[in-house]
Every structure is written in C-alpha cells, then in structure tokens.
C-alpha cells in the first residue's frame, strides 16, 4: 500500500513543470539521499493514471494518443515520453522488489502443493487397492460369511461400548472412593486415583456427563490439595510421622514436592505468628486493648508484670512444640534422602532433594529469628527492675534456655538476645545490689550482735540459695581448675546438653516454677543461754586456767543474722553468674563489695571509741590501709559532687561501748568480729569458683588481691577491737602510777619484785573473770583467746616500757630491779597465758638491756630501734648518759632530727 500524497493532476501545466524538473534532476544529478528517492518514486507512481491498473487488455497506446492535443508540440511530446519511461522504470523496479520479497512464501506454497499432490497420489492408490479387494471379496465371500463378519464387528463394538460404560461407571464412583481414602489419610492413593480418573475422563470427553465429571474431578483435586495443606499446617504443632509421610508422598505424585516444602516453611512462620498472638491475648490487660488490630509489641506492653512469667512460660512451651516439630520434619527429610538410592538416576528427584536440603539449611535460622523476636518483645517491653529477685532469676533462666536451644537448633548464638539480656541483667543487678547494701545498712544499725544458733557443721553450702550451684562450687574447689581465658562470653553461657532428647510430652520449661527448698541450719535444741552452760566447756576455770582447750569443731560458729543475710546475697549473686556468665565480672565485684562493707561496718562500729596512745600497737597498718581504700571506693560520703554508693551505718543505742557493767560490750564485739572472720572463711570456699567465672587476667588479679588483702586482713580486726576492751578494763594508769613511785636508784640489788607487778597480774586475772561472766552465753575459740592475749601482750609491753621510761635516774641496781620485775611478771603470766612466749616480750627485754649499754654503743642502738617512742628513747639516753652531758645532748639532737624526718 502506497502512501497517498497530494500531486497535480496528470495533464495540467503544474504537473508537467514539476515532472520536468524532477526528470531533469534525475538525468543530470545522481540522488544521494535514499529517503528522498523513495519519496519521489512514490509521487511518480501516484501520478500514474488509474486506468493503467483497471484491466490487463488496456490499450495504453491508444489512450496516450487520444490525449495528444490537436496541435502537436514536439517538446511536450518528448516530455511525455520521458515521463512514461521514468514511470515504467519505477513500476518495473517495485515489481521486481515485490517478487523478491514474496519468493520465500512462493517456495512454501510450492512445497505445500507438492505434498498435496503426493497425498492425492497415495489416496488414489489406496482407493484402487480397496476397489480391487472389494472385487475379490465379491467373487470369493458368500452372504453367510459377510453376516459373520458383520456380527463380529457388532460384537467388537458392543465390547468397546461395555468397556466404555464400565470406565464411565468407575469414573462416576471416584468421588465416593476418594472420600474414603482421604478419611483414612491415604492421600497418595487418593491423588493417584484422581490423576488416573482425570486422564481416563479425557478419553470420553465427547460425552456430556463425562465433561461435567471432568470439572468435578478437577474441583476434587483442588479440594484434596487444600486438605493436604491443612494437614501440613497441623504438623507445625503435632508432628505425626505416618501422616507426614503420606502427605509428602501425595505431593510427590502431584509433582509439587518443592511447593510442599515452601508451604511447610510458610506454615511454620505463620504458626509462630498466630501462636504468639493467641497466647499473649490470654494474659493482656483488656482495659488497655481497644481493638484486635494491635501490634505484638503493643500487646506485650499490655501484659501486667505479675503475668509476665506465666505468659513467658506458656509462649516458650508453644515455641518449643513448634521447634520440636520442625526438627522432626527435618530429620524425616534427611532420612528420606539417605534411603533414596535412585535419586542420582532420577534427575528431577535429585534436584528436589537438593532444593529441600537448601531449604532446611536456611529455614531453622529464619524460624529461630522469628521466635527470638517474639520473646524479646515480650520480655524487654516490661519493667523488670521492679521484679523480685526470684522472679527475675526465673526470667533469666528461661532466656538462658532459649539461648541454649538456639545454639543446638540452628547453631545460632542469639547475639541480640544475649546482648539485650546482658544489658537488662546488668541494670537490674546493680539496682538490686544497691538495695542489698541499703538493707545491710539497716541490719548493721539494728543488729543485736548475738550469735545465731546454727549447727556445729554449718557452712554456706547448707543455705537454699547455694543448693543449685553447690556441686559447681565444690567441683571447682576439688579440681582447682584454672578458667580458660579463651572462652568468650557467648560460649561460656552455652551448655552442651541436648534439649531435643526430651520426650514429646515434656519441655525444658515445665520446671520453670519458683521452688523453695527446705534448709536445716538452725540448732533447735540450743537456746540462747545454753551455748556454754556447762562449766566444763566454759572458756575459763576458777583455778587460774585462762586457756581454751575445747576443740573448735565441737561448738557452733559465731555468726549473726547479718552474716546469714550476706551469705544468702552471695548465693543469689552466684545464681545469676551460673545462668549468665557474661556479667560474672560485675557480679564478682559486687560480691566482694558485700564483704568489704561488712568489714568496714564492723570496724566503724566497734572501733569508734578512742584507743589510748599506749595501746596503739594493736592497730594494724595493713588493716588501716584496707579500711581507707574501702572508704574511698565504696563509702564516698566525703567526695564532692559524687553520690555515695552506700552510706555509713550509724551506731544505735543497742551498743554500749562505754558501759563497764557489760565489760564495754565485749560479747557483742566478739560476736561481730568472729562473724566477720567466719564470713571470710566462707568466702575462701568460693575462691576457686569465683576465679573460674572471670575471663580476664585483670579481673583474676583483682580477685586475688581482694583475698590477699581484704579477706586476709579480717583477722587483724581482732586486736584493735579486743584491745579497746583490755585498755578500758585493766587499770594500767594505776600501774604506771605505782611504777613512778618505784625507786630506781637503789644501791643494793633487790630480792623481791615491786608491788605493781602483783597489782598488774591481779588486774589481768580480774579481767578474765569478768570476761568469763560477760561471755558466758557464747563460745570463745582458741583464735579469740589468742587475740585477747595478743592484745594484753601489747598492753603489757607498752605499760612496762612506758613505766620504765618514766624513771628520771636509774642505778645499776635499779636496772636489775627492772629485770627482776619483768621476769617475775613473765613467770606468773606464762602460767595462765596459752601463748608461750608472750608476744612483744623481746621489746621489753631489749629496752631493759639498753640501760646496760655503754655510752659508745648507745648512738647505734638509738638509730636501730625506732619502734620506741621519742620519750622512751630519751629516757634511756638520760639514764645511760646522766654523767656525760655532751653525749646526752648529741643523742637528744639526733632524736629530734630523726623525729622531724
């Protein structure tokens, strides 16, 4: 079809002028633009008169001659001839182009014509052969034979009809048979029957009833697939091996094995979503829920705090069933792949199995991610800082079990859950620890400091707080294994036990209920005054026996209710470590703070009364440095712009440290200090276990320093606490007054000791008798006795040195009297003192011997014995150098310089 263009009519002057110009341009200049040439050709063809195309017998010569004018114009005739030639060339060219374009179609048509001729030839030969055979039959076969042939043909037709009717009958009964197979969960046979009937129905589709049946069979097939999908979705909660095998076989017959696996994973995802919503809706506060289109996170916020644990357990059990069902399905496919020996020969089956394997490689991670998201939304949308400790511990235990299940289920570390759990646990624990310290402050302020009647063999392992971790601690203590520094937080919090060994009717969350264990630690047969009611078990006898001979293990330990409270807090702290080892360093630090606060409080409460300078030797430099460190790090009351971690306890009226009637609360002092020492012994039982919880060398070193310094220094608190009682109970000032009255300038050596020695000994005996009365209701072990005697030894040495230093002048006989007095005192004191020799005895002996030193050795002695006070050293110098003023002045100046340094 040519594009119609507007051209001048043939024969007009414009037409000839245009064509003349065009023909001239065609003859003179070659056309370079192809599009322009095509356009000119189209215009020239459109200018050809239509009569040229109307008839094949058209006489174009006559037509052109008739068009000539009456007066011939040679030039005009030449133009017409040129125009006709150009039009003829263009038409000829386009005709050739059309022939070339339709050459392939023409060849195809010729091939079809050839095939048609061959078919006609074959048909003609068949017709001739049939005609010849009919002629032969007409001559050879009788009428009876033709009848038999006719009957055989009818029989064959009837048999075919009967078979067709039976097939149609069977097809019509398919629906009932299919329902029976589906009800029996025999899905594979049902699918096979449907496919067979569908294929058979296609052979009888010409019948109207069969056409309707085909539609019905197709609907039945769709309904069966829907039923299979329903059964497949039920596998998410209650996996049945036989039903699942039947369903997979049915899908395999349908050729939809891969679709079935996709559907299965979609159902598991839907099961997690629907089960979480259904479960949490049972616990939400209906007053806060306005409609049913709330998000899961919003519903979690509507769960009351008291319903969080039941909701979490219920949700965990549902998720456990889903995970267990999924793992059974994965195991089924793994086993099926192993027994499919022909899968390598069947390419399609091999591809299907590889597809299933890939699905079950990535499926668990996605499923576990959905579950962890739901669990996190429920737990971390609640305010757990208000939870009771046991409730929080239960939530932590459930989360830890989820972490362990995730590790086994899909080798997932559940890092986000671990991080959120750690963060929440740290926030809760530090708040809880602060409350525990505040609670201990109240305990210290209201403690009566009377012994708690526990059994003789009591230790912290008998407390119910240590019941669940007792085996771990004892195993750590027995093996003394060094904790591996390579174990990370995540790996340390993952147990190696396999939860999937549980039976289907149990889950790891069945026992997640608060369980209270009974503990038997109190000695019910012992009342408050029967600890030392038997005179044979008392610490002191009337016959000047001041030693303790009873075995320590036969009597219960001295501890208070506050001590029990601290040990219970330790057990609770370690429960958190046992569940979530990632915060062990924080827990161990806070656990050490409990002991530090106990040590600081006992020191503060029972050393608040002033200690005389003469008894300053009972103070321990190491103890004082530890107390100062605790005050700076834990008791920050003196720091500006910094809130204290815990305030100092205030001594209430219960303690009467200045009352001589109860021997300055000596019983309370002993109970307080010995309870601290007992607590330190219990901490030593935890040393190996605490060290195993730490993952860094720095933390392990800090723990070792805590034991070497803080715990070890607890026993040093005995001397300053007990020493204060000694200094107040024994009238050492009277002894010093009597010593000042002694004449140390005697000329003859005395045979009898001074009277102050007997007075001093009598004061000590009276003290122990009073001590016996004041501590009749408690048991004093050997360590207490030794500590008391060490405090007395400090007092004795200080009194003797101070008394000797008061002598203005001293003769050789006076020096011998000093030696006699001290020797007599020591002989008497050794008969009642369990410590032999008495501590600090050598200080007095060295001081007495200093009076015998020659003047030339005095300077060296003074430099080497700076343990004595300036006054005491000056007394020796004055006595020894009383006749050598120059040396005395020199040594006095030396002492002053040393004191300034």
DSSP letters, 813-859, are: HHHHHHHHHHHHHHHHHHTT-SSSSPTTHHHHHHHHHHTTS-HHHHH
Supply the pLDDT for residue 188.
60
Give strand pairing partners of 454: 522
Q: Is the per-residue pLDDT at 491 higher than 50?
A: no
Question: What are the pLDDT digits (tens) for 879-894?
Answer: 777 767 777 787 787 7
> Quick check: 754 pLDDT over 80?
yes
70-124 pLDDT per residue, tens: 888 888 888 888 888 888 888 888 888 888 888 888 888 999 999 999 999 999 9
Question: Which range has the worst mean pLDDT, 648-657, 709-718, 839-848?
Answer: 648-657
- So what's the pLDDT on residue 646? 84
Q: 91 CB contacts (<8 Å, ≥6 apart)?
A: 45, 48
Please give the average per-residue pLDDT across 427-436, as a whole number: 91
Sign of CA dihedral 726, 730, 736, 742: negative
Residue 808 banded pLDDT, cuts 50, 70, 90: confident
Q: Which of 226-230, 385-389, 754-758 has the highest mean pLDDT?
A: 754-758
Q: What share of the chain in percent tops pLDDT 90?
A: 22
Mean pLDDT over residues 180-184, rounded?
A: 58
Mean pLDDT check: name the lowest of 248-262, 782-796, 809-823, 876-890: 876-890
CA 660 from centroid of its chain's CA atoms: 58
Tell me the average pLDDT across 853-869. Answer: 81
Please tell me the predicted confidence (pLDDT) of residue 177.
Answer: 61
pLDDT at 764: 92
CA angle 299, 305, 308 (to 5 degrees): 70
CA distance linking residue 606 with residue 649, whole number of Å: 12
DSSP state of 522: B
Residue 521 per-residue DSSP state: -
Q: Which of 29-38, 119-128, 543-552, 610-619 has the lowest mean pLDDT?
A: 543-552
For residue 5, is it left (φ>0), alpha (ψ between -120 and 50) or beta?
beta
Return the bridge partners of 522, or none.
Answer: 454
Rounded Cα gap, residues 679 and 586, in angstroms: 21
Q: Which two tokens stand for residue 200?
A: 């058979």
CA proximity to 19, closest of 45, 56, 1: 45
- Distance, in Å, from the CA atom of 234 to the CA atom of 413, rounded to the nearest integer, reads 29
Contacts of 697 (CB under 8 A, 6+ apart): 485
* Mean pLDDT (whole number) for 717-742: 90
Dihedrals phi, psi of 43, to nearest 5 degrees: -70, -40
Q: Which residues pair with 523 in a beta bridge?
A: none
DSSP H helical segments within 469-559, as ranges? 470-479, 489-492
Res 202 pLDDT > 60? no
DSSP 322-385: HHHHHHHHHHHHHHHHHH-GGGTT-HHHHHHHHHHHHHHHHHHHHHHHHHHHHHHHHHHTS-GG
What is the rounded CA–CA span in Å between residue 307 and residue 283?
6
pLDDT average, residue stretch 511-528: 57
Q: Which of 188-202, 211-225, 447-461, 550-564 has the lowest mean pLDDT?
A: 188-202
DSSP-derived secondary structure for 612-653 = PGGGGGG--HHHHHHHHHHHHHT--TTSTT---SSPPP---T
* Cβ neighbours around 896 below 10 Å, total: 12
For the segment 234-246, the average pLDDT, to the nearest whole number, is: 86
Could you tell me the two tokens for 192?
Answer: 């096979």
Question: Quick one: DSSP state of residue 707?
Answer: I
- 801-819: burial string, b at 16+ Cβ within 10 Å, e else: bbbbbbbeebbebbbbbbb
Element (H, E) at 50: none
Q: What is the model's pLDDT at position 479?
A: 61
Per DSSP, the three-state class of 743 is coil
Q: Which range is least confidently modeled, 2-6, 355-359, 589-593?
A: 2-6
Residue with tokens 């259904």: 278
Q: Report whether pLDDT(244) > 80.
A: yes
- pLDDT for the residue 3: 41
Q: Give the pLDDT band of residue 481 (cuts 50, 70, 90).
A: very low
Which helix H or strand E contains 593, and what residues bound it?
helix 584-606
Q: What is the DSSP letter of 653?
A: T
Cα–Cα distance, 118 to 106 (Å, whole number): 19
pLDDT band at 504 (very low <50, low <70, confident <90, very high): low
Percent of the chain clearing pLDDT 70 (strictly above): 77
Of the candidate ranges 240-254, 546-560, 600-614, 876-890, the one whose mean pLDDT is the lowest: 546-560
* Residue 494: band (very low, low, confident or very high) from pLDDT cuts 50, 70, 90: very low
Q: How far apart are CA 686 and CA 706, in angstroms?
A: 13
pLDDT of residue 713: 93
- pLDDT of residue 4 exceeding 60, the answer is no
Q: How far apart are CA 624 and CA 499, in angstroms?
A: 53
**Band of pLDDT at residue 27, cut at 50, 70 and 90:** very low
766-790 pLDDT per residue, tens? 999 999 888 888 888 888 888 889 8
Distances (CA, A) of 205 to 157, 201, 210, 214: 19, 6, 6, 8
What does the pLDDT look like over 146-178, one tens digit per residue? Answer: 778 788 888 888 887 777 666 666 655 565 565
- Residue 201 host element (H or E): helix 187-201
* Greatest Cα pair distance in the chain: 195
- Give the position of tokens 């569908």: 198
- Nearest in space to 797 (alpha carbons), one of 732, 734, 724: 732
| Distant-in-sequence, close-in-space partners of 52: CB < 8 Å, separation ≥ 6 | 58, 60
Helix (H, G, I), strand (E, B) or coil at 19: helix
List alpha helices for 70-142, DSSP H: 74-101, 103-140
pLDDT tens digits, 867-878 = 787 777 788 877
Contact 730, 767 (CB under 8 A): yes
Query: Which segment of 33-37, 413-417, 722-726 scores lowest on mean pLDDT?
Result: 33-37
Go through the chain and tell me how many residues it has: 901
Please, what sign has the CA dihedral across residues 445, 446, 451, 455? negative
What is the reported pLDDT for 375?
92
- 586 vs 487, more confident: 586
Q: Between these two residues, 60 and 542, which has the higher pLDDT value? A: 60
Beta strands in 564-620 (DSSP E): none
**Residue 849 is encoded by which pair of tokens?**
């011997």
Asked if pLDDT for residue 684 goes beyond 90, the answer is: yes
């Amino acid at each position: 079809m040519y594009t119609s263009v507007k051209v001048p009519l043939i024969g007009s002057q414009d037409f000839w002028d245009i064509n003349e110009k065009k023909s001239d341009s065609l003859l003179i200049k070659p056309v370079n633009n192809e599009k322009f040439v095509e356009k000119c050709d189209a215009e020239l063809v459109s200018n050809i008169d239509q009569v040229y195309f109307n008839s094949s017998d058209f006489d174009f010569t006559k037509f052109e001659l008739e068009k000539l004018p009456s007066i011939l114009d040679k030039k005009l005739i030449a133009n017409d001839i040129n125009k006709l030639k150009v039009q003829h060339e263009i038409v000829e060219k386009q005709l050739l182009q059309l022939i070339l374009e339709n050459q392939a179609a023409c060849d195809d048509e010729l091939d079809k014509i050839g095939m048609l001729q061959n078919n006609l030839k074959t048909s003609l030969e068949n017709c001739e052969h049939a005609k010849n055979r009919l002629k032969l039959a007409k001559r050879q076969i009788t009428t009876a034979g033709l009848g038999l042939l006719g009957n055989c043909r009818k029989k064959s037709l009837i048999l075919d009809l009967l078979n067709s009717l039976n097939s149609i009958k069977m097809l019509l009964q398919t629906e009932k048979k299919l329902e029976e197979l589906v009800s029996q969960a025999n899905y594979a046979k049902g699918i096979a029957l449907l496919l067979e009937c569908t294929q058979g129905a296609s052979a009888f589709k010409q019948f109207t009833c069969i056409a309707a049946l085909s539609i019905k069979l197709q609907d039945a097939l769709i309904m069966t697939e829907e039923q299979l999908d329903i059964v497949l979705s039920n596998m998410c909660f209650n996996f049945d091996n036989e039903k699942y095998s039947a369903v997979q076989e049915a899908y395999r017959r349908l050729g939809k094995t891969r679709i079935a696996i996709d559907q299965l994973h979609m159902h598991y995802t839907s099961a997690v979503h629907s089960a979480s919503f259904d479960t949490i809706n049972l616990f939400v506060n209906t007053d806060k829920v306005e409609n049913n289109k709330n998000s899961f996170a919003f519903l979690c916020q509507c769960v009351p705090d008291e319903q969080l644990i039941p909701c979490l357990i219920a949700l965990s059990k549902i998720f456990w069933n889903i995970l267990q069902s999924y793992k059974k399905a994965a195991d089924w496919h793994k086993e099926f792949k192993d027994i499919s020996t022909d899968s390598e020969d069947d390419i399609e089956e091999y591809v299907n199995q590889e597809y299933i394997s890939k699905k079950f490689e990535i499926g668990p991670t996605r499923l576990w991610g959905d579950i962890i998201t739901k669990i996190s939304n429920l737990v971390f949308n609640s305010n757990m800082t208000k939870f009771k400790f046991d409730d929080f511990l239960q939530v932590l235990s459930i989360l830890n079990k989820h972490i362990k299940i995730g590790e086994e289920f899909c080798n997932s570390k559940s890092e986000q859950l671990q991080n959120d759990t750690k963060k929440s646990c740290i926030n809760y624990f530090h708040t809880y620890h602060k409350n525990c310290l505040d609670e201990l402050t109240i305990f210290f302020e209201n403690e009566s400091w009377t012994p708690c009647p526990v059994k003789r063999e009591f230790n912290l392992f008998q407390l119910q707080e240590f019941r669940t971790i007792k085996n771990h601690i004892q195993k750590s203590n027995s093996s003394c294994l060094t904790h591996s520094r390579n174990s990370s937080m995540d790996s340390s919090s993952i147990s190696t036990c396999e939860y999937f060994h549980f039976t289907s009717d149990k889950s790891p969350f069945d026992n997640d209920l608060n369980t209270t264990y009974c503990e038997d630690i109190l000695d019910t047969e012992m009342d408050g005054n029967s600890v030392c009611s038997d005179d044979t078990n008392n610490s002191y006898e009337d016959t000047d026996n001041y030693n303790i001979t009873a075995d320590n293990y036969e009597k219960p330990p001295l501890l208070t209710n506050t001590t029990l409270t601290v040990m219970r807090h330790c057990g609770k702290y370690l429960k958190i470590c046992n569940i979530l080892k990632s915060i062990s360093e924080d827990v161990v630090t806070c656990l050490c703070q409990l002991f530090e606060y106990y040590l600081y409080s006992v020191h503060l409460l029972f050393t608040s009364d002033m200690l005389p300078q003469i008894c300053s030797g009972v103070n321990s430099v190491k103890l004082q440095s530890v107390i100062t460190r605790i005050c700076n790090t834990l008791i920050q009351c003196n720091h500006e712009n910094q809130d204290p971690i815990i305030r100092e306890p205030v001594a209430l009226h219960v303690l009467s440290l200045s009352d001589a009637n109860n021997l300055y609360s000596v019983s309370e002092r002993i109970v307080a200090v010995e309870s601290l020492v007992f607590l330190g012994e219990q901490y030593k039982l935890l040393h190996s276990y605490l060290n195993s919880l730490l993952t860094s060398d720095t933390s392990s070193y800090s723990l070792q320093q805590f034991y070497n310094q803080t715990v070890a220094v607890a026993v040093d608190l005995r001397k300053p606490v007990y020493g204060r009682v000694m200094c107040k109970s024994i009238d050492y000032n009277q002894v010093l007054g009597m010593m000042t009255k002694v004449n140390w300038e005697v000329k003859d050596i005395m045979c009898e000791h001074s009277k102050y020695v007997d007075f001093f000994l009598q004061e000590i005996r009276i003290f122990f008798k009073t001590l016996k009365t004041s501590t009749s209701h408690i048991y004093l072990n050997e360590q207490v006795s030794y500590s008391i005697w060490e405090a007395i030894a400090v007092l004795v040495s200080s009194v003797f040195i101070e008394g000797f230093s008061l002598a203005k002048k001293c003769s050789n006989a006076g020096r011998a009297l000093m030696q006699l007095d001290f020797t007599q005192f020591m002989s008497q004191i050794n008969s009642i003192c369990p410590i032999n020799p008495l501590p600090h005895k050598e200080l007095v002996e060295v001081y007495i011997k200093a009076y015998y030193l020659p003047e030339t050795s005095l300077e060296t002695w003074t430099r080497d014995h700076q343990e004595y006070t300036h006054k005491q050293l000056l007394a020796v110098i004055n006595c020894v150098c009383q006749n050598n003023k120059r040396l005395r002045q020199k040594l006095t100046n030396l002492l002053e310089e040393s004191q300034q340094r």
